[in-house]
Structure 1
């Protein structure tokens, strides 16, 4: 059965369920009466959807509130233990795997450092080794949490690189900076990890998962448009136009800021990432005469760099070389921010990632001054630049909510129901004519 808009009754039911689930998730607990205005559904539709969700165990009653002159209204909320998600961050310093319930309570975590200052970059990202780390981590968090894998909505994975999709392999990763050329990561994980076939994989660029997390739960919440910047070993960005819709990862780190400039990790010259990002920043400090700790991992080395530039002892003298490198880096980043402002005119630019959060507001103030100076005055005056609020684990959180977002999109169903494809009558007629 179909309706005039072309959507079927099944589509409308799914959309109604999705609307109720999203509002209960983000704004609940809510009563049936309160759900009507925020979902734009009739009281009858709300009652029907809620009845189904209660029967399926996705929603539960959560007390009641008094009403004006009537019976108390029963409050409803998403059941916290109704499903689980796994988030994986294949980062540039470590692989992190976390298992969450629907309320994003962390139930188990496994971390596996990549030894950034040890083997060559291409060795650190050996595909077989990374897949094994993810496999072992997923199996370990499921064991520690003591859940039935059938209850998993899916596994979200944040990766460094561009993600494409093919019918044969699913998500394929093109990670030029880590020497991944069309790695069929989804197929490799499915072949390696012992999870039920019903558990889906959602593989996206790490900047996108960070953007998803900050827009749903962090500093981007309520913004009509934002760019969320991932500042780690390198830099990337996610462009988001609505707080509930998925963002789009962009390779902002490979924007050119200097013709015939420094060699970037991608092989080209003059990329922003060749000047910004923790790896480039530490390399430029070393070249300028700084002394990063020998054999220290990247996060520890950046901490030492910042301690040299901003010593805790007020009587200690700041490292002039470190300060000069920081200021130059702030100018390069400010120029990169100005391009985002001029091209996209976002309401907010938010900086996350372990390195961005370490550098903090003091460094970001300098970046903001340069961005404002280089950008067009009107869009620059209408953008807010700030730090993300979800901490260094935001990529993992964002990866975990990818299956949750898909779950909501399908109205609380774990997988879309396969139905016979129906085509308009004119398509059949045209095909028949073409066959003669």
Structure 2
């Protein structure tokens, strides 16, 4: 019974640290009095926890403000220099590795193009590991200061104790780590975390890239202040993060959010996943540019330059393709509205920002035409505010979330 009581007290202290740390991180600077009023914790509990966080170096004083008739109130904030976060965006055209301080100010970046659409997982692992070394050394950072490395990947990520079958990656059996399933690039139960751990001792956090982007956009971008939203990631492929009542919805097997593989047209264009008529085969950059080249568009240019060219092309064929894309994307957004009735749909990803920046009005009009009137009237559609490289920021929020949820260093 005594051991059970000790665990309960420790868990309560950790929960209190997490509540206060989150409030300071997202809303600081705040005074101790502000923290007690806004969290409902007693002044004594706030004082004790704040003292612990200051001693750990995670919270610092940030000036003071006058109080009503009493002593000035000391303001507190999280210390941006407490440690470092690394975000890794594993895309189909490149691997981007970015180093941040705790305030998510970028300190270094490494960018490694992929020539094969990301199909060779061993090459991806090499690029990630090379990128980790490059940003840590480039910013002259002590590896011990790295709180964690977040890795955002396409496809479904399976966590926990997983089966390592006859997949060409070593012995069979069971082991810890994140395993990635992504049909579009041919990844079938790739033990990515285990492969990365063979080359780095840094703490790793692997998750779906759209889910990571969604977390960042809900914390710092267009979703901030909302409890229900869908954040769409449109790049070479298409995915989405669904947030319901403030929490991400992942489904029974962690595969929720594969919006790009919902059916937009029965018997339609062949998708890279092997099915037909998927939304991704109409609005994903890879499929869109394939159709553009078939309609006479230039070949041999990179995806981003080619998509920018399509959006600026005055030809009739390009204009028709743009109109079709806006309609398919609007219809896909209408599906999200009808299914989840979110407060907001946020369009992100490098391709989503390019397309939305040129055609957002037409996309919204198409969504309105296909959605039920009542839920659509309560939804807004807008672009991601964190920019075209937000996926790396999103990945960096994975170790940040772990730090905040745990209330900082071990309590």
Whether TM exceeds 0.5 here: the answer is yes
Distance 1:192 1:11 in 2: 34
95-104 or 248-257, which moves further after superposition?
Answer: 248-257
Matched residue, 1:432: none
2:303 aligned residue (295, 298, 306): 298
Matched residue, 2:181: 174
Distance 1:326 1:261 in 2: 18
Is the CA contact (8 Å cut-off) linking 2:24 and 2:76 kept in structure 1? yes
Matched residue, 2:369: 373
Is the CA contact (8 Å cut-off) linking 1:253 and 1:272 kept in structure 2? yes
Q: CA RMSD in A?
A: 1.9
CA shift, 1:125, in A, is: 2.4
Distance 1:44 1:134 in 2: 45
CA shift, 1:241, in A, is: 2.4
Residues 55-82 of structure 1, C-alpha deviations (whole Å, 9 max, x = no match): 1111111111111111111111111111
Residues 64-105 of structure 1, C-alpha deviations (whole Å, 9 max, x = no match): 111111111111111111111110000122100011110111
1:182 counterpart SS class: strand
Going from structure 1 to structure 2, the CA distance change for 1:91 and 1:145 (only over 3 Å counts) comes to same
1:170 counterpart SS class: coil
Distance 1:56 1:91 in 2: 36
Going from structure 1 to structure 2, the CA distance change for 1:30 and 1:144 (only over 3 Å counts) comes to same
Is the CA contact (8 Å cut-off) linking 1:224 and 1:242 kept in structure 2? yes
Matched residue, 1:347: 343
Residues 281-330 of structure 1, C-alpha deviations (whole Å, 9 max, x = no match): 1122222x2322x311111111111121xxxxxxxxx2111111111111
Matched residue, 2:98: 98
Runs of 4+ in 1 over 2 A off after TM superposition: 1-7, 245-249
Residue 21 of structure 2 corresponds to residue 39 of structure 1: no
Is the CA contact (8 Å cut-off) linking 2:182 and 2:188 kept in structure 1? yes
1:395 aligned residue (375, 391, 400): 391
CA shift, 1:210, in A, is: 0.9
1:335 counterpart SS class: helix
The residue correspondences of 1:21-420 to structure 2 (distance < 5 A) are 21-115=21-115, 119=116, 121=117, 124-167=118-161, 168-193=175-200, 195=201, 199-242=202-245, 245-246=247-248, 248=250, 249-287=256-294, 289-292=295-298, 294-308=299-313, 318-413=314-409
Is the CA contact (8 Å cut-off) linking 1:372 and 1:380 kept in structure 2? yes
Q: TM-score, normalised by structure 1?
A: 0.87
CA shift, 1:4, in A, is: 12
Distance 2:339 2:11 in 1: 36
Structure (1 or 2) with the larger CA radius of gyration? 1
Q: Which runs of 5+ in 2 are unaligned?
A: 162-174, 251-255
2:159 counterpart SS class: strand
1:154 counterpart SS class: strand
Residues 119-172 of structure 1, C-alpha deviations (whole Å, 9 max, x = no match): 5x4xx4211111000001001111112222122111100101100024214100
CA shift, 1:246, in A, is: 4.5
CA shift, 1:372, in A, is: 1.1
- Number of equivalences: 393
CA shift, 1:242, in A, is: 4.8
Going from structure 1 to structure 2, the CA distance change for 1:400 and 1:389 (only over 3 Å counts) comes to same
Matched residue, 1:425: none
Distance 1:38 1:187 in 2: 42
Going from structure 1 to structure 2, the CA distance change for 1:247 and 1:72 (only over 3 Å counts) comes to farther
CA shift, 1:413, in A, is: 2.4
Is the CA contact (8 Å cut-off) linking 2:94 and 2:113 kept in structure 1? yes
Residues 372-425 of structure 1, C-alpha deviations (whole Å, 9 max, x = no match): 1111111011100010100011110010011111111111126xx8xxxxxxxx
Is the CA contact (8 Å cut-off) linking 1:211 and 1:247 kept in structure 2? no
Distance 1:129 1:32 in 2: 50
Is the CA contact (8 Å cut-off) linking 1:98 and 1:107 kept in structure 2? yes
Distance 1:284 1:364 in 2: 21
1:397 counterpart SS class: helix
Matched residue, 1:421: none
